[in-house]
Amino acid sequence: MGTGDTAVELSPFDLEALCIASATEDQLFGFDLPDAITSPNSLINITGSSTDAGDQVTSHRAYSSAKSSTFSSAEIPPLARSRIGYAITQLKLAPRMMVENNSTLWCHAMLYDEHMPRSLQDAHASCALYNARNDINTDFVARHIANRIDELISAPLPTEAIEIMARAHALMLYQVMLFFGSDVRCFSQAEVLVCRLVEVGNLLLDISAQQTDPINALLLYPSAAVRAAWKSFLFRETLRRTVLSLFQFVAFCHLLRGQSGPCTDGLSQGNRVTLSAHLWSASNAFGFAVAWNERPHFLVHNLDFTDVLKDAQPDDIDNFGKTMLVSLQGIDDVKGWFYMKSGTF
């Protein structure tokens, strides 16, 4: 098992690392982004999506109250483009992944097998409608999603950990639909959700700090202990992936507004996440135990991926791991690492 003890200098999930460079921070973490990032389509364009010129102007006016000039995706420096484009592409896939697989990059498909809280049930149904949008039903779908969001944010914060996580997953899915649904009427509601995401993200940070990691091999018999270890892993690692993905998404939201967001120290100091495609993709407790005992897995401390880059093989890295590595190093470097390890990105 690989571990790292030192925080890396360039943290892909440090909010400041993804925010706008100020006059005194001209190349903050290599992004060197212009001051005029105010269009909600700026980051959408990075992924190659086409947008109508008129919609760009309308979107800009709806979403930015401080700037008057639109931002062209051509102005984004290549390094910044290579670090954030892949993550945004993965975010945009989340509603379809949730409907088709009951999962996202940050949420394991088996987490809600026994019980899916109502907040996420509503978001799940909204994702299905969102995926089925057409010229006829677009307005109905938009109203439905907006109503479900209003219901969610008006409900009191839950106190049980699984309910808090479900609320975070629902908010993230709604925010993806608002941001990337190309409906300018949604941007004001998306702005409200940023604060809600931070609120629930801070609760998850506290829960994450209480998690412990087993280090011993798992006995395959009796199976009750293996099932308990698997369920614990599903919760623990979904929690950690959710925290990282949520605050990265918040950073993108600030980036769209042309604002610098406050850092969240818990993301870079004391943070842990396990990277192992074999553990994450295990479909049952037995498969999980075999992967735990026989395959390498990397407990990443403080977002330091040194041991991962040194010792991991391409098949150890799932899409979440790819997203983290690309956010840190840029897609060309990560593709190069895969190639040097005889893998394909």
> Which residues on adjacent β-strands are paired with residue 274?
299
pLDDT, tens digit, for every residue of 222-276?
A: 889 999 999 999 999 999 999 999 999 998 888 776 665 555 555 656 689 999 9
Task: Provide the residue type at 144 as one letter.
Answer: H
pLDDT, tens digit, for every residue of 118-159?
A: 999 999 999 999 999 999 999 999 999 999 999 999 999 999
Mean pLDDT value across residues 297-326: 95
Model pTM? Answer: 0.79
Chain CA centroid to CA 101, Å: 17
Helix, strand, or coil (residue 259)? coil
Length of the chain (residues): 345
Mean pLDDT value across residues 296-321: 94
- Residue 29 gets which letter from DSSP? G
The set of residues, in sequence order, having a beta carbon less than 8 Å from that of 41 and lying 6+ positions away, is: 51, 55, 56, 59, 73
Which two tokens mark 213? 């990691």
Beta-strand runs (E) in 85-129 = none
The Cα 86–Cα 309 span in angstroms is 19
- H/E stretch holding 273 reads strand 272-275
pLDDT, tens digit, for every residue of 175-198?
A: 999 988 877 777 788 889 999 999
